[in-house]
Amino acid sequence: MPAAHPGLVTVSGRPCPPPGPAEMSEAKHRKKAGVKGAPPEPGRRGESGQPPEPARVSGDGGGGGGGGGGGGGGGGGGGGWADPRTVLCLLSLGTSLALAWFVFQQSEKFDNVENKYQLLKLEAAEFHSLQSQVTLISEKLDSSESVLQETTSAISLMTQFEQEVSSLHNILSDIKNSEQTLMQRLQTINVKFKNVTDSWKRNLDDMNAHTGGLKSEAKRVHSHVTAQINLAEQGVKLLTERLRDLEDSTIRNIRTIKSQEEEDLLQVEEQLVSDSKAVEKLEEEQRNLFEREINLGNQLADYEPKVEECKTHLPAIESAVHSVLKVSQDLIGTEKKMEELTMKMFNLEDDMLKAVSDIMDVQKTLEGMQYDNSMLKMQNELHFLKGKVQEFIASSSLREKGILEYDLENKGIGEQ
Protein backbone atom coordinates (compact mmCIF):
# COMPACT_ATOMS: atom_id res chain seq x y z
CA MET A 1 0.00 0.00 0.00
CA PRO A 2 1.54 3.38 -0.98
CA ALA A 3 2.38 5.93 1.66
CA ALA A 4 -0.08 8.70 2.27
CA HIS A 5 0.77 12.15 0.93
CA PRO A 6 1.50 14.55 3.79
CA GLY A 7 -1.04 17.33 4.30
CA LEU A 8 -4.00 15.65 2.50
CA VAL A 9 -7.03 14.57 4.56
CA THR A 10 -10.59 13.65 3.85
CA VAL A 11 -13.68 15.38 5.09
CA SER A 12 -13.93 12.88 7.96
CA GLY A 13 -10.37 13.68 9.05
CA ARG A 14 -8.71 10.47 7.84
CA PRO A 15 -5.57 10.53 5.67
CA CYS A 16 -5.86 9.79 1.96
CA PRO A 17 -3.35 8.26 -0.45
CA PRO A 18 -1.39 10.61 -2.73
CA PRO A 19 -2.69 11.14 -6.28
CA GLY A 20 -1.10 9.28 -9.11
CA PRO A 21 0.87 10.80 -12.03
CA ALA A 22 -2.18 10.67 -14.31
CA GLU A 23 -4.20 12.59 -11.80
CA MET A 24 -1.40 15.14 -11.37
CA SER A 25 -1.10 15.69 -15.12
CA GLU A 26 -4.88 16.02 -15.38
CA ALA A 27 -4.89 18.61 -12.56
CA LYS A 28 -2.07 20.57 -14.23
CA HIS A 29 -3.91 20.46 -17.54
CA ARG A 30 -7.09 21.75 -15.85
CA LYS A 31 -5.13 24.49 -14.08
CA LYS A 32 -3.59 25.67 -17.34
CA ALA A 33 -6.97 25.53 -19.08
CA GLY A 34 -8.54 27.50 -16.20
CA VAL A 35 -5.80 30.17 -16.34
CA LYS A 36 -5.81 30.43 -20.12
CA GLY A 37 -9.59 30.17 -20.41
CA ALA A 38 -10.14 33.53 -18.65
CA PRO A 39 -9.58 35.91 -21.54
CA PRO A 40 -9.41 39.61 -20.87
CA GLU A 41 -12.46 41.64 -21.49
CA PRO A 42 -12.65 43.23 -24.93
CA GLY A 43 -11.23 46.70 -25.08
CA ARG A 44 -9.39 46.31 -21.71
CA ARG A 45 -6.01 44.70 -22.70
CA GLY A 46 -4.19 44.35 -25.99
CA GLU A 47 -2.34 41.38 -27.40
CA SER A 48 0.98 42.46 -25.83
CA GLY A 49 -0.49 42.59 -22.29
CA GLN A 50 -0.32 46.35 -22.13
CA PRO A 51 -3.38 48.29 -20.92
CA PRO A 52 -5.50 49.62 -23.78
CA GLU A 53 -5.22 53.15 -24.86
CA PRO A 54 -7.93 55.24 -23.12
CA ALA A 55 -10.74 56.58 -25.25
CA ARG A 56 -10.01 60.19 -25.91
CA VAL A 57 -13.20 61.27 -27.58
CA SER A 58 -13.66 64.22 -25.28
CA GLY A 59 -9.95 65.21 -25.51
CA ASP A 60 -9.98 64.95 -29.32
CA GLY A 61 -13.22 66.92 -29.41
CA GLY A 62 -11.65 69.51 -27.14
CA GLY A 63 -8.57 69.62 -29.40
CA GLY A 64 -10.81 70.13 -32.44
CA GLY A 65 -12.68 72.84 -30.59
CA GLY A 66 -9.34 74.38 -29.62
CA GLY A 67 -8.25 74.35 -33.28
CA GLY A 68 -11.51 76.02 -34.32
CA GLY A 69 -11.15 78.54 -31.54
CA GLY A 70 -7.52 79.21 -32.56
CA GLY A 71 -8.68 79.90 -36.15
CA GLY A 72 -11.38 82.27 -34.88
CA GLY A 73 -8.83 84.02 -32.68
CA GLY A 74 -6.45 84.47 -35.64
CA GLY A 75 -9.31 86.01 -37.73
CA GLY A 76 -10.24 88.39 -34.93
CA GLY A 77 -6.56 89.42 -34.41
CA GLY A 78 -6.58 91.05 -37.89
CA GLY A 79 -9.23 93.60 -36.63
CA GLY A 80 -7.45 94.35 -33.45
CA TRP A 81 -7.08 92.89 -29.84
CA ALA A 82 -9.43 95.67 -28.34
CA ASP A 83 -12.43 93.61 -29.71
CA PRO A 84 -14.37 92.01 -26.73
CA ARG A 85 -15.69 89.20 -28.94
CA THR A 86 -12.16 87.83 -29.50
CA VAL A 87 -11.45 88.05 -25.76
CA LEU A 88 -14.61 86.05 -24.96
CA CYS A 89 -13.75 83.47 -27.63
CA LEU A 90 -10.25 83.05 -26.15
CA LEU A 91 -11.70 82.67 -22.64
CA SER A 92 -14.16 80.00 -23.82
CA LEU A 93 -11.31 78.26 -25.69
CA GLY A 94 -9.16 78.21 -22.53
CA THR A 95 -11.99 76.80 -20.43
CA SER A 96 -12.73 74.09 -23.03
CA LEU A 97 -9.03 73.11 -23.16
CA ALA A 98 -8.88 72.95 -19.35
CA LEU A 99 -12.01 70.76 -19.28
CA ALA A 100 -10.58 68.48 -21.97
CA TRP A 101 -7.30 68.12 -20.01
CA PHE A 102 -9.22 67.31 -16.81
CA VAL A 103 -11.37 64.69 -18.60
CA PHE A 104 -8.21 63.16 -20.11
CA GLN A 105 -6.60 62.87 -16.64
CA GLN A 106 -9.77 61.31 -15.23
CA SER A 107 -9.91 58.82 -18.11
CA GLU A 108 -6.29 57.80 -17.44
CA LYS A 109 -7.08 57.24 -13.74
CA PHE A 110 -10.17 55.26 -14.72
CA ASP A 111 -8.07 53.06 -17.05
CA ASN A 112 -5.54 52.39 -14.24
CA VAL A 113 -8.38 51.35 -11.91
CA GLU A 114 -9.79 49.07 -14.62
CA ASN A 115 -6.37 47.44 -15.13
CA LYS A 116 -6.11 46.76 -11.40
CA TYR A 117 -9.61 45.31 -11.46
CA GLN A 118 -8.64 42.98 -14.33
CA LEU A 119 -5.56 41.82 -12.40
CA LEU A 120 -7.75 41.08 -9.39
CA LYS A 121 -10.15 39.14 -11.61
CA LEU A 122 -7.25 37.04 -12.91
CA GLU A 123 -6.12 36.35 -9.35
CA ALA A 124 -9.70 35.39 -8.43
CA ALA A 125 -9.81 33.01 -11.45
CA GLU A 126 -6.56 31.41 -10.28
CA PHE A 127 -8.02 31.11 -6.80
CA HIS A 128 -11.15 29.42 -8.22
CA SER A 129 -8.95 26.98 -10.15
CA LEU A 130 -7.11 26.17 -6.91
CA GLN A 131 -10.45 25.70 -5.19
CA SER A 132 -11.56 23.30 -7.94
CA GLN A 133 -8.34 21.34 -7.47
CA VAL A 134 -8.99 21.23 -3.74
CA THR A 135 -12.50 19.90 -4.38
CA LEU A 136 -11.08 17.24 -6.69
CA ILE A 137 -8.62 16.27 -4.02
CA SER A 138 -11.39 16.13 -1.43
CA GLU A 139 -13.46 13.92 -3.76
CA LYS A 140 -10.51 11.62 -4.21
CA LEU A 141 -10.05 11.60 -0.48
CA ASP A 142 -13.72 10.62 -0.05
CA SER A 143 -13.26 7.79 -2.53
CA SER A 144 -10.19 6.59 -0.68
CA GLU A 145 -12.01 6.53 2.69
CA SER A 146 -13.44 3.08 1.96
CA VAL A 147 -9.95 1.83 1.19
CA LEU A 148 -8.53 3.37 4.34
CA GLN A 149 -11.28 1.80 6.46
CA GLU A 150 -10.23 -1.66 5.24
CA THR A 151 -6.52 -0.97 5.94
CA THR A 152 -6.37 -1.53 9.67
CA SER A 153 -2.71 -2.35 9.50
CA ALA A 154 -1.81 1.30 9.00
CA ILE A 155 -2.76 2.36 12.53
CA SER A 156 0.85 3.15 13.27
CA LEU A 157 0.78 5.80 10.62
CA MET A 158 -2.28 7.55 12.06
CA THR A 159 -0.19 9.98 14.01
CA GLN A 160 1.57 11.12 10.88
CA PHE A 161 -1.73 11.42 9.06
CA GLU A 162 -3.18 13.42 11.94
CA GLN A 163 -0.25 15.83 11.76
CA GLU A 164 -0.67 16.12 8.02
CA VAL A 165 -4.41 16.65 8.45
CA SER A 166 -3.76 19.44 10.95
CA SER A 167 -1.30 21.05 8.54
CA LEU A 168 -3.87 20.69 5.72
CA HIS A 169 -6.49 22.30 7.94
CA ASN A 170 -4.11 25.15 8.55
CA ILE A 171 -3.53 25.49 4.81
CA LEU A 172 -7.27 25.47 4.15
CA SER A 173 -7.84 28.08 6.84
CA ASP A 174 -5.07 30.19 5.31
CA ILE A 175 -6.70 29.79 1.88
CA LYS A 176 -10.07 30.82 3.34
CA ASN A 177 -8.51 33.82 5.06
CA SER A 178 -6.78 34.86 1.84
CA GLU A 179 -10.07 34.41 -0.01
CA GLN A 180 -11.85 36.62 2.53
CA THR A 181 -9.15 39.28 2.29
CA LEU A 182 -9.37 39.14 -1.50
CA MET A 183 -13.14 39.53 -1.35
CA GLN A 184 -12.80 42.49 1.03
CA ARG A 185 -10.27 44.06 -1.31
CA LEU A 186 -12.59 43.51 -4.24
CA GLN A 187 -15.45 45.13 -2.32
CA THR A 188 -13.30 48.13 -1.34
CA ILE A 189 -12.10 48.46 -4.94
CA ASN A 190 -15.69 48.34 -6.19
CA VAL A 191 -16.70 51.00 -3.65
CA LYS A 192 -13.75 53.20 -4.64
CA PHE A 193 -14.55 52.69 -8.31
CA LYS A 194 -18.17 53.69 -7.73
CA ASN A 195 -17.08 56.76 -5.74
CA VAL A 196 -14.65 57.77 -8.50
CA THR A 197 -17.28 57.35 -11.21
CA ASP A 198 -19.86 59.28 -9.16
CA SER A 199 -17.42 62.14 -8.49
CA TRP A 200 -16.42 62.16 -12.15
CA LYS A 201 -20.09 62.39 -13.21
CA ARG A 202 -20.74 65.19 -10.68
CA ASN A 203 -17.69 67.11 -11.91
CA LEU A 204 -18.85 66.70 -15.51
CA ASP A 205 -22.33 67.96 -14.62
CA ASP A 206 -20.87 70.95 -12.75
CA MET A 207 -18.57 71.73 -15.67
CA ASN A 208 -21.40 71.51 -18.17
CA ALA A 209 -23.55 73.83 -16.04
CA HIS A 210 -20.63 76.24 -15.62
CA THR A 211 -19.89 76.28 -19.36
CA GLY A 212 -23.58 76.87 -20.12
CA GLY A 213 -23.63 79.84 -17.73
CA LEU A 214 -20.45 81.21 -19.29
CA LYS A 215 -21.93 80.89 -22.79
CA SER A 216 -25.13 82.70 -21.81
CA GLU A 217 -23.18 85.45 -20.05
CA ALA A 218 -20.87 85.81 -23.07
CA LYS A 219 -23.90 86.15 -25.38
CA ARG A 220 -25.43 88.77 -23.10
CA VAL A 221 -22.19 90.76 -22.86
CA HIS A 222 -21.72 90.52 -26.63
CA SER A 223 -25.22 91.87 -27.31
CA HIS A 224 -24.71 94.69 -24.79
CA VAL A 225 -21.33 95.63 -26.30
CA THR A 226 -22.70 95.61 -29.86
CA ALA A 227 -25.59 97.88 -28.79
CA GLN A 228 -23.15 100.31 -27.13
CA ILE A 229 -20.92 100.29 -30.22
CA ASN A 230 -23.89 101.02 -32.50
CA LEU A 231 -24.97 103.93 -30.29
CA ALA A 232 -21.43 105.32 -30.26
CA GLU A 233 -21.18 105.02 -34.05
CA GLN A 234 -24.48 106.88 -34.49
CA GLY A 235 -23.28 109.66 -32.14
CA VAL A 236 -19.99 109.93 -34.04
CA LYS A 237 -21.84 110.17 -37.36
CA LEU A 238 -24.07 112.96 -36.03
CA LEU A 239 -21.07 114.84 -34.63
CA THR A 240 -19.17 114.51 -37.92
CA GLU A 241 -22.14 115.89 -39.83
CA ARG A 242 -22.42 118.81 -37.40
CA LEU A 243 -18.70 119.46 -37.68
CA ARG A 244 -18.90 119.50 -41.45
CA ASP A 245 -21.78 121.97 -41.31
CA LEU A 246 -19.86 124.14 -38.83
CA GLU A 247 -16.73 124.01 -40.98
CA ASP A 248 -18.65 125.01 -44.09
CA SER A 249 -20.46 127.84 -42.28
CA THR A 250 -17.26 129.12 -40.62
CA ILE A 251 -15.37 129.02 -43.91
CA ARG A 252 -18.16 130.97 -45.64
CA ASN A 253 -18.36 133.50 -42.80
CA ILE A 254 -14.59 133.94 -42.73
CA ARG A 255 -14.50 134.49 -46.49
CA THR A 256 -17.30 137.06 -46.40
CA ILE A 257 -15.75 138.83 -43.39
CA LYS A 258 -12.34 138.88 -45.04
CA SER A 259 -13.74 140.25 -48.28
CA GLN A 260 -15.70 142.96 -46.41
CA GLU A 261 -12.72 143.86 -44.28
CA GLU A 262 -10.44 144.04 -47.29
CA GLU A 263 -12.89 146.31 -49.11
CA ASP A 264 -13.34 148.53 -46.04
CA LEU A 265 -9.61 148.65 -45.44
CA LEU A 266 -8.94 149.57 -49.06
CA GLN A 267 -11.49 152.37 -48.89
CA VAL A 268 -10.10 153.61 -45.59
CA GLU A 269 -6.53 153.45 -46.89
CA GLU A 270 -7.48 155.39 -50.01
CA GLN A 271 -9.30 157.98 -47.93
CA LEU A 272 -6.37 158.19 -45.51
CA VAL A 273 -3.89 158.61 -48.37
CA SER A 274 -5.95 161.40 -49.88
CA ASP A 275 -6.44 163.04 -46.47
CA SER A 276 -2.76 162.70 -45.65
CA LYS A 277 -1.83 164.35 -48.94
CA ALA A 278 -4.26 167.21 -48.26
CA VAL A 279 -2.95 167.59 -44.72
CA GLU A 280 0.64 167.68 -45.98
CA LYS A 281 -0.27 170.39 -48.44
CA LEU A 282 -2.02 172.38 -45.72
CA GLU A 283 0.97 171.95 -43.41
CA GLU A 284 3.29 173.24 -46.09
CA GLU A 285 1.01 176.19 -46.72
CA GLN A 286 0.77 176.85 -42.98
CA ARG A 287 4.55 176.75 -42.67
CA ASN A 288 4.90 179.12 -45.53
CA LEU A 289 2.34 181.41 -43.92
CA PHE A 290 4.18 181.29 -40.59
CA GLU A 291 7.43 182.10 -42.32
CA ARG A 292 5.81 184.94 -44.18
CA GLU A 293 4.21 186.18 -41.00
CA ILE A 294 7.58 186.16 -39.24
CA ASN A 295 9.21 187.93 -42.12
CA LEU A 296 6.37 190.42 -42.24
CA GLY A 297 6.62 190.97 -38.49
CA ASN A 298 10.32 191.66 -38.83
CA GLN A 299 9.78 193.88 -41.78
CA LEU A 300 6.84 195.80 -40.24
CA ALA A 301 9.14 198.18 -38.46
CA ASP A 302 11.04 198.87 -41.64
CA TYR A 303 8.11 198.68 -44.02
CA GLU A 304 5.27 200.44 -42.24
CA PRO A 305 4.19 202.22 -45.38
CA LYS A 306 3.75 198.84 -47.00
CA VAL A 307 1.23 197.75 -44.35
CA GLU A 308 -1.53 199.38 -46.25
CA GLU A 309 -0.50 197.40 -49.25
CA CYS A 310 -0.61 194.24 -47.17
CA LYS A 311 -4.14 195.10 -46.05
CA THR A 312 -5.13 194.81 -49.63
CA HIS A 313 -3.96 191.11 -49.43
CA LEU A 314 -6.21 190.36 -46.42
CA PRO A 315 -9.08 188.88 -48.53
CA ALA A 316 -6.67 186.27 -49.92
CA ILE A 317 -5.59 185.36 -46.40
CA GLU A 318 -9.23 185.13 -45.31
CA SER A 319 -9.99 182.82 -48.22
CA ALA A 320 -7.00 180.65 -47.18
CA VAL A 321 -8.33 180.53 -43.62
CA HIS A 322 -11.75 179.54 -44.92
CA SER A 323 -10.11 176.75 -46.94
CA VAL A 324 -8.29 175.59 -43.79
CA LEU A 325 -11.62 175.51 -41.94
CA LYS A 326 -13.15 173.45 -44.73
CA VAL A 327 -10.24 170.99 -44.52
CA SER A 328 -10.78 170.72 -40.74
CA GLN A 329 -14.46 169.98 -41.34
CA ASP A 330 -13.45 167.28 -43.83
CA LEU A 331 -11.11 165.84 -41.21
CA ILE A 332 -13.97 165.76 -38.70
CA GLY A 333 -16.06 163.81 -41.24
CA THR A 334 -13.19 161.36 -41.76
CA GLU A 335 -12.93 160.95 -37.99
CA LYS A 336 -16.62 160.05 -37.85
CA LYS A 337 -16.05 157.51 -40.62
CA MET A 338 -13.10 156.10 -38.68
CA GLU A 339 -15.28 155.76 -35.59
CA GLU A 340 -17.88 153.90 -37.63
CA LEU A 341 -15.15 151.62 -38.97
CA THR A 342 -13.89 150.98 -35.45
CA MET A 343 -17.44 150.07 -34.37
CA LYS A 344 -17.64 147.66 -37.29
CA MET A 345 -14.31 146.18 -36.27
CA PHE A 346 -15.51 145.73 -32.69
CA ASN A 347 -18.66 144.02 -33.97
CA LEU A 348 -16.51 141.77 -36.14
CA GLU A 349 -14.38 140.95 -33.12
CA ASP A 350 -17.50 140.04 -31.14
CA ASP A 351 -18.67 137.79 -33.98
CA MET A 352 -15.26 136.18 -34.16
CA LEU A 353 -15.20 135.62 -30.39
CA LYS A 354 -18.64 134.00 -30.60
CA ALA A 355 -17.38 131.77 -33.41
CA VAL A 356 -14.30 130.89 -31.32
CA SER A 357 -16.53 130.03 -28.32
CA ASP A 358 -18.68 127.81 -30.58
CA ILE A 359 -15.54 126.14 -31.89
CA MET A 360 -14.31 125.59 -28.32
CA ASP A 361 -17.65 123.99 -27.39
CA VAL A 362 -17.40 121.69 -30.38
CA GLN A 363 -13.81 120.90 -29.42
CA LYS A 364 -14.89 119.95 -25.87
CA THR A 365 -17.57 117.65 -27.24
CA LEU A 366 -15.00 116.11 -29.56
CA GLU A 367 -12.54 115.57 -26.70
CA GLY A 368 -15.20 113.44 -24.98
CA MET A 369 -15.63 111.29 -28.12
CA GLN A 370 -12.02 110.58 -29.14
CA TYR A 371 -12.21 107.15 -30.80
CA ASP A 372 -9.88 107.30 -33.80
CA ASN A 373 -7.24 109.43 -35.58
CA SER A 374 -9.82 111.40 -37.59
CA MET A 375 -10.97 113.09 -34.36
CA LEU A 376 -7.37 114.06 -33.57
CA LYS A 377 -7.00 115.55 -37.05
CA MET A 378 -10.16 117.60 -36.52
CA GLN A 379 -8.79 118.87 -33.21
CA ASN A 380 -5.53 119.91 -34.85
CA GLU A 381 -7.50 121.75 -37.55
CA LEU A 382 -9.60 123.50 -34.88
CA HIS A 383 -6.45 124.56 -33.00
CA PHE A 384 -5.05 125.87 -36.27
CA LEU A 385 -8.27 127.84 -36.95
CA LYS A 386 -8.18 129.19 -33.40
CA GLY A 387 -4.62 130.43 -33.89
CA LYS A 388 -5.56 132.05 -37.18
CA VAL A 389 -8.54 133.79 -35.55
CA GLN A 390 -6.34 135.05 -32.70
CA GLU A 391 -3.76 136.32 -35.20
CA PHE A 392 -6.51 138.07 -37.13
CA ILE A 393 -7.84 139.68 -33.93
CA ALA A 394 -4.33 140.81 -32.96
CA SER A 395 -3.67 142.29 -36.41
CA SER A 396 -7.05 144.06 -36.41
CA SER A 397 -6.35 145.49 -32.93
CA LEU A 398 -2.93 146.71 -34.11
CA ARG A 399 -4.53 148.36 -37.13
CA GLU A 400 -7.11 150.05 -34.91
CA LYS A 401 -4.34 151.32 -32.63
CA GLY A 402 -2.45 152.70 -35.64
CA ILE A 403 -5.60 154.41 -36.95
CA LEU A 404 -6.34 155.95 -33.55
CA GLU A 405 -2.76 157.21 -33.20
CA TYR A 406 -2.96 158.71 -36.66
CA ASP A 407 -6.27 160.42 -35.76
CA LEU A 408 -4.74 161.80 -32.57
CA GLU A 409 -1.78 163.16 -34.52
CA ASN A 410 -4.13 164.78 -37.02
CA LYS A 411 -6.13 166.34 -34.18
CA GLY A 412 -2.95 167.69 -32.62
CA ILE A 413 -1.88 169.18 -35.94
CA GLY A 414 -5.35 170.71 -36.44
CA GLU A 415 -5.24 172.31 -32.98
CA GLN A 416 -1.83 173.81 -33.71
CB of 407 closer than 8 Å to CB of 338: yes
Co-location of 277 and 411 in the same domain? yes
Q: Identify whether residues 228 and 298 lie together within a single domain.
A: no
Confirm if 363 and 382 have CB atoms less than 8 A apart: yes
Q: What is the mean pLDDT of residues 342-360?
A: 76
Q: What is the DSSP letter of 15?
A: B
**75-79, 84-88, 326-330: lowest mean pLDDT where?**
75-79
Residue 97 pLDDT grade (very low, low, confident, very high; cuts 50, 70, 90): very high
Residue 350 placed within a domain: yes
Q: How far is CA 39 from each of CA 44, 154, 245, 267, rounded to the nearest angstrom?
A: 10, 47, 89, 120
- Residue count (the chain): 416
pLDDT digits (tens, 9 = 90+) for 231-256: 878 888 888 888 888 888 888 888 88
Is the Cβ–Cβ distance between 205 and 213 less than 8 Å? no
**Is 15 part of a structural domain of the chain?**
no
DSSP alpha helices (H): ranges in 78-157? 84-150
Tell me, yes or no, whether 202 and 259 share the same domain: no
Residue 206 within a domain? yes
Q: Which of 234, 262, 289 lies at the terminal end of a domain, its last residue?
A: 234
* Same domain flag for 102 and 226: yes
Pairwise pLDDT comparison (179 vs 388), residue with the higher score: 179
Domain boundary among 234, 261, 283: 234
Boundaries of domain holding 207: 21-34+58-145+161-234
Query: Tens of pLDDT along 170-218?
Result: 888 888 888 788 888 878 887 887 888 888 788 778 877 877 777 787 7
Residues 311 and 386 both lie in one domain: yes
95 pLDDT higher than 60: yes
Cβ contact 164:9 at 8 Å: yes
- Residues 221 and 95 occupy one common structural domain: yes
Rounded-to-integer distance, Cα 93 and Cα 70, Å: 8
pLDDT for 381: 64
Same domain, 386 and 263: yes
> What mean pLDDT comes out for the span 301-315?
68
Contact, 336 vs 411, CB < 8 A? no
Q: 296 and 283, same structural domain? A: yes
> For the chain, what is the domain count?
2
Residues 95 and 225 placed together within one structural domain of the fold: yes
The answer on 365 and 220 residing in a single domain is no
Residue 328 identity? S
The pLDDT of residue 24 is 53
- Do residues 181 and 195 both lie within one domain? yes
358 vs 59 pLDDT, higher one: 358
pTM above 0.85, yes or no: no
Is 53 contained in some domain? no
| Spatial CB neighbours of 359, under 8 Å, sequence gap ≥ 6 | 246, 250, 382, 385, 386
Is residue 273 in a domain? yes
Indicate whether 81 and 110 sit together in one domain: yes
Chain mean pLDDT for the chain: 71
Contact yes or no for 261/387 (Cβ under 8 A): no
